[in-house]
Amino acid sequence: MSGADETSVTREPDGQDESDVPTSGEVVPERFSSDELFQRIIADADHEITSGTRELFFSAVAGGLAISITFLVYASLYPQADGGIARVLLYPLGFIYIIIGGYQLYTENTLPPVLLTLERLASVPSLLRHWLIVLLGNFAGGAIGAIVLAYGGVFEPPAVEAAITFAKDGIAIARWDLFFKGAFAGLVVAGLVWVDFAARDTISRVVLIYIAFLTIPLGNLFHVVVSFTEVVFAMLVTDEVAFIPGMTDFVIPVLLGNTIGGVVLLTLVNYYQTSEHRLESGRFADARKLSVREWLAGGLAGRTYVPVVDTIEEIVRDADSYRVLVPISNPRTERDLVELACTLAGSRESGAVHVVHFVQAPEHGAFHGDPEQHDRIVDASERQLEAFEPMGEHHDIEFQTSTVVTPRSFEDVFDTANRLSPDLVLMGWGRDTVWSSARAERPLDELTNQLPTDFLIVRDRGLEPDEILLPTAGGPNADLGAEIAGILQTTADIEVTLLHVVDGPGEREAGERFLQKLAADYDLTDPNLVVDTSGDIERSICDAAHDRAMVIIGASERGLLSRLVTDSLHLSILDDVEGSMLLAERPSERTFLERLIGAGSRENRREGIGERE
């Protein structure tokens, strides 16, 4: 090296990306600051808390199986050594496999998401969900390992006796003592989380992990997954240990201690030693935090997680305005969708359109704290959205654009609708839309069955219709379709045909009265009224729509969005009709309990079209 002020870099240390590599002339810090450690942990926590249930659970199962390796070598070595440190030398082995291998372990991988929750970037329910899935997976893996060890003839008799003794000794300890022993073990693991992210190579990480987890048996401390595996094994091979007492007198006190020790004693302390600028160079620098209500209630109050980038400004909603939210993924190909939204909003005295460009971010490590990449994506999005602004001026409406960058763009559409409370969400349906990014933390069926407002899904095959066909059997979703047809008829010279399918000629007169009333209710001008007596809804629509440019369909009682996203909507007309299609759905009425525990059942009502199973 020719000069003390020059820095050369020949390779990147393990665990670093290009943003960590210094340029020539830049001073290289000897160690990471607390803010830099925080940013590295946040990037990892984002991956953890946004992982799918299946991914989390089976990674946690692998972690539980790795813990059974610790149990195996600990019990096998224990009777062979004369005493002292020799008995516990291989105890950390399973933990090394877990951390270096990236498996999920309760206490180790569950602590980083606490930082997201403290920053109000993730909700408390999201954190608890993450903890529960990982804990159940660890217990499942530990139980599988215990069963194999109990019945597979792996242990020698002395090792069996030692393994039984571990569980019996743990149950014999007072619960408060177990709690505090678990708390110190949680403290050790939480400290390792921070120190591990400061390590720059794999060898250093292995040494740190080994020393940290060696302190657990040396200090006569307890880790909850190891304790659970010990109890299950002892229960299987002896009558002296029962499952329920083992859980209540051993595993649960250790679980509470591990959790509180890790979260309260160290995670909170390390969090509050960072500065208020800890996120400025991180991936959430421009993210808008959850409201207190969202933070506490998660999806029940609106959203559970904050996107990587969210340029949506908080708005003061005018009660008299009619707002249309338009989520798009490609501004170049969804121009007609925005034009339709402006047409709908322009029909009202105080109309507004808000176009949100959802940019799909990589699931793992998006941006990774790279502000230049962040700025490039946001600037490119804003330039494309500027092309829509003349539409707002042309229709004399309030017009806004925003950008959201997220690995969960489909779910964030619903979160955004909850935040902005529009009157209508107008979405495109096809490959090049947010439907292709239907990844969500919540179950998709539940997500799409809990609509925050009216939804209009557009299959675009040309949105300048000369005629509109509206098949209807009544109900709120069909009413939404009639509203849209009335607006389009008012703003352009479009002929509207109302179609009602009945079961026979004897119902024709009643069907005609029904259509006449519907036309009057929505001020449809001289619509064509068609009553089909065949009883075959899909065939009737296909026949009537043969030359029509647009078909507007209301949801059946089973809904449209939930079935579109799961590819379980079986309507031949979706492929047979040549023109554009608008699929209308309004929120169903569900109790708080139904929303809390799952999808629930939709209000049983007759809607615009039947479905063929």
CATH of residue 181: 1.20.1080.10
Q: Is the pTM of this model over 0.85?
A: no
CA distance 494 to 418: 33
Q: Are 60 and 141 in contact (CB under 8 A)?
A: yes
Residue 496 DSSP label:
E
* Boundary-marking domain end, from 460, 491, 524: 460
For residues 102 and 176, membership in a common domain is answered with yes
- Percent over 70 (pLDDT), the chain: 73
For residues 112 and 162, membership in a common domain is answered with yes
Please state the rounded mean pLDDT for residues 282-303.
71
Residue 278: name the closest of 187, 405, 369 by CA: 369
Residue 515 lies in a domain: yes
Residues 122-157: tens digit of each pLDDT: 889 889 989 999 999 999 999 999 999 999 989 999
Residue 14 lies in a domain: no
Say whether pLDDT at 25 is over 50.
no
Considering only residues 182 and 448, tell me which one the structure prediction assigns the higher pLDDT: 182
CA distance 275 to 28: 21
Cα-based distances in Å from 428 to 59, 329, 517, 598: 35, 9, 31, 27
Residue 332 lies in a domain: yes
The two three-digit tokens of residue 494, written as one number: 């479009």
Considering only residues 422 and 445, tell me which one the structure prediction assigns the higher pLDDT: 422
CA distance 174 to 448: 48
Q: Are 507 and 480 in contact (CB under 8 A)?
A: no
For residues 112 and 257, membership in a common domain is answered with yes
Buried b (16+ CB within 10 A) or exposed e, 81-108: eeeeeebbbbbbbbbbbbbeeebbbbbb
Say whether pLDDT at 64 is over 90.
yes
For residues 45 and 87, membership in a common domain is answered with yes
CA distance 178 to 330: 56
For residues 549 and 408, membership in a common domain is answered with no
Say whether pLDDT at 593 is over 80.
no
Say whether pLDDT at 553 is over 70.
yes
In sequence order, what are the residues at sequence separation of 6 or more whose Cβ sits closer than 8 angstroms to the Cβ of residue 423? 322, 323, 324, 453, 454
Q: What pLDDT, on the 0 to 100 scale, is given for residue 576?
A: 63
Q: Are 66 and 96 in contact (CB under 8 A)?
A: no
CA distance 333 to 428: 10
3-state secondary structure of 612: coil
Q: 310: pLDDT confidence band, cut at 50, 70 and 90?
A: confident
Say whether pLDDT at 23 is over 60.
no
CA distance 195 to 133: 25
Considering only residues 537 and 317, tell me which one the structure prediction assigns the higher pLDDT: 537
Q: What pLDDT, on the 0 to 100 scale, is given for residue 122?
A: 85
Q: What pLDDT, on the 0 to 100 scale, is given for residue 592?
A: 41
For residues 479 and 453, membership in a common domain is answered with no
Q: What pLDDT, on the 0 to 100 scale, is given for residue 121?
A: 83
Residue 20 lies in a domain: no
> Lowest-pLDDT range, 80-84, 91-95, 193-197?
80-84
Q: What pLDDT, on the 0 to 100 scale, is given for residue 93?
A: 92
> Lowest-pLDDT range, 25-34, 131-140, 198-207, 226-235?
25-34
Q: Are 422 and 324 in contact (CB under 8 A)?
A: yes
For residues 365 and 479, membership in a common domain is answered with no
Q: What pLDDT, on the 0 to 100 scale, is given for residue 555?
A: 63
Considering only residues 253 and 608, tell me which one the structure prediction assigns the higher pLDDT: 253
For residues 455 and 479, membership in a common domain is answered with no
Which ranges of 173-223 does DSSP label H, i.e. alpha helix? 175-198, 202-218
Residue 546 lies in a domain: yes
Considering only residues 29 and 608, tell me which one the structure prediction assigns the higher pLDDT: 29
For residues 137 and 265, membership in a common domain is answered with yes
Say whether pLDDT at 225 is over 70.
yes
Please state the rounded mean pLDDT for residues 426-453.
64
For the chain, the helix, strand and coil percentages under 3-state DSSP, each to the nearest 5:
50, 10, 35
Domain residues for the domain of 62 are 34-273
For residues 410 and 482, membership in a common domain is answered with no
Say whether pLDDT at 182 is over 90.
yes
* Boundary-marking domain end, from 460, 483, 513: 460
The long-range contacts involving 482-486, CB below 8 angstroms and separated by at least 24 positions, are 482/518, 482/521, 482/522, 482/524, 483/522, 484/344, 484/456, 484/552, 484/582, 484/584, 485/522, 485/524, 485/552, 486/522, 486/523, 486/524
For residues 466 and 493, membership in a common domain is answered with yes
Residue 10 DSSP label:
-
The two three-digit tokens of residue 240, written as one number: 């002296």
Q: 190: pLDDT confidence band, cut at 50, 70 and 90?
A: confident
Tell me the range of 1-5, 258-262, 469-473 where mean pLDDT is highest: 258-262
Please state the rounded mean pLDDT for residues 387-400.
89
* Entry field: residues in the chain: 613
Considering only residues 202 and 602, tell me which one the structure prediction assigns the higher pLDDT: 202
Residues 445-454: tens digit of each pLDDT: 555 666 778 8
For residues 97 and 242, membership in a common domain is answered with yes
Considering only residues 289 and 208, tell me which one the structure prediction assigns the higher pLDDT: 208
Residue 435 lies in a domain: yes
Q: Are 124 and 295 in contact (CB under 8 A)?
A: yes
CA distance 500 to 516: 11
Cα-based distances in Å from 519 to 44, 346, 496, 516: 57, 22, 10, 5
Say whether pLDDT at 594 is over 60.
no
Q: How many domains does the chain have?
A: 3
The two three-digit tokens of residue 520, written as one number: 């009057």
Tell me the range of 140-144, 396-400, 503-507, 560-564 where mean pLDDT is highest: 140-144
Residue 298 lies in a domain: no
Residue 206 lies in a domain: yes
Average pLDDT over the chain, rounded to an integer: 78
Q: Is the dihedral of CA 470, 476, 477, 480 positive or negative?
A: positive
Residue 363: name the closest of 441, 278, 430 by CA: 441
Q: 471: pLDDT confidence band, cut at 50, 70 and 90?
A: confident
Query: What's the CATH number where 416 sits?
Result: 3.40.50.620
* Boundary-marking domain end, from 405, 433, 460: 460
